[in-house]
Amino acid sequence: MLKRAFDIAAAGMALLLLSPVLAYVAWQVRRKMGAPVLFRQIRPGLGGVPFEMVKFRTMRDAVDKAGCPLPDADRLTPFGNFLRASSLDELPELWNVFKGDMSLVGPRPLLMEYLPLYSAEQARRHEVRPGVTGWAQINGRNSVSWDEKFKLDVWYVNHQSFWLDLKILLLTVKKVLIRDGISAQGEATMPRFTGSSGGVK
């Protein structure tokens, strides 16, 4: 209950205080990449229940001759790369936090298509609300492997507390300022998860 109350108060205040920043970034996205300004996608939340996550758009709608989307590296614009590096693209998720779809701190919400690929242990990441930031984000972000990322997520599930959340929030600010772990080595963002290298599904 304390965690949820903190989420509502902090997200509500952040949305109010950051409204000029949100408006400016939205204007820049529209000016540089056109509509839509927001990227919306269904992601699994608490218990794997789907919800619509919102972020600022960072990629062009570019496709190849067959109509398939180009690789992330080809669609990610310089401005979009700046938004990701500064984590400004994540700001609209404060609305998801305020609504109760997400928490400020928790495992990052990934793709719905990953759900059947998790091992039983990895699936425990859905025992808590997904977060804007999390234990994995301050311990490597996209520079660690999927298996390691999921171990960090489950560690958070086992050790979550209000004080741990505060520590993660403070360390997130530091990570954002030094722009550490934004992408996996040799990738524009993070390679797709295709299944665990170990463990029983």
Bond before 92 cis per omega within 30 degrees: no
> In whole angstroms, what is the distance from residue 23 CA to residue 178 CA?
25
Distance CA 70, CA 74 (A): 6
pLDDT at 200: 41
Question: Quick check: is 157 in a domain?
Answer: yes
Instruction: Report yes or no on 188 lying in a domain.
Output: no
Residue 129 lies in a domain: yes
Spans of the chain below 70 pLDDT = 62-72, 142, 179-189, 197-201
Residues sharing a CB contact under 8 Å with residue 66, sequence separation 6 or more, in sequence order: none
Can you give the pLDDT at residue 49? 97
Share of the chain above pLDDT 90, in %: 64
pLDDT of 155 reads 97
pLDDT at 62: 63
> Would you state the pLDDT for residue 188?
47
Into how many domains does the chain fold? Answer: 1
pTM of the shown model: 0.85
Q: Report yes or no on 173 lying in a domain.
A: yes
Compute the distance between CA of residue 150 and CA of residue 124 in angstroms, rounded to an integer: 9
**Which amino acid is present at 66?**
A
In order of 12, 103, 104, 156, 197, the CA distances from 145 in angstroms are: 34, 24, 23, 17, 10
pLDDT given for residue 201 in this prediction: 43
Q: Is residue 13 part of a domain?
A: yes
Residue 192 counted as domain residue: no
3-state DSSP assignment of residue 76: strand
183 lies in a domain?
no
Domain-located, residue 99 = yes
- What is the span of the domain harbouring residue 9? 2-178
Of 129, 88, 123, nearest to 105 (Cα)? 129
